[in-house]
Amino acid sequence: MEYRRFGNTIVVRMDHDDDIQENVKLISEKENIKLAYVSALGNTKYVTLNSYDQNVKQFFPNTFEGHYEIAHLNGTINTQGGSHYSHLHIVIGDMEGHAYGGHLSKAIVGTTLEMFIHIVDGVVDRVSSGEPGGNVLKFED
């Protein structure tokens, strides 16, 4: 993984076998990011995404292994209790054009991934809403 910072934007290239979530955390901590928007595309060889069922108040994982194009990856970086927190969603497509999406739990880059991290001048923390996985934005007065 390599990245460069241009003002409030960080451009990232992740390579084969890079862990997306781990690298986002590494960059966030190294660059002291408290609030940002993330967008990316590329491909992956392993993805676990979660879908939330509001009726049973539980996340259900779906794991995909093989060649998948990342059609869309977006989300936020902020903090929870002052520590790094990222909330990323992903849409992947298989070789037949079927798309799958959800909350990104883990993803390993296949060949490459291009990511833009747009830093916002501010801090917005998260707090638990009391629901499983319900870590919501908390705005300071």
d(CA 100, CA 92): 5
With 70 as the cut, is the pLDDT of residue 141 above it?
no
Q: What letter represents residue 124's amino acid?
A: V
112: left (phi over 0), alpha (psi -120 to 50) or beta: beta
Residues 44-64: pLDDT tens digits? 999 999 998 888 888 899 999
Q: What does pTM read for this prediction? A: 0.91
Q: Give the chain as a 3 state SS string.
A: CEEEEECCEEEEEEECCCEHHHHHHHHHHHCCCCCEEEEEEEEEEEEEEEEEECCCCEEEEEEEEEEEEEEEEEEEEEEECCEEEEEEEEEEECCCCCEEEEEEEEEEEEEEEEEEEEECCCCCEEEECCCCCCEEEECCC
Q: What is the residue whose two structure tokens read 């590329």?
A: 42
The model's confidence at residue 26, banded by pLDDT at 50, 70 and 90, is very high
What pLDDT is recorded for position 130?
A: 72
The model's confidence at residue 132, banded by pLDDT at 50, 70 and 90, is low
Q: What is the mean pLDDT of residues 107-117?
A: 98
The pair of three-digit structure tokens given for residue 59, joined into one six-digit string: 């996340």
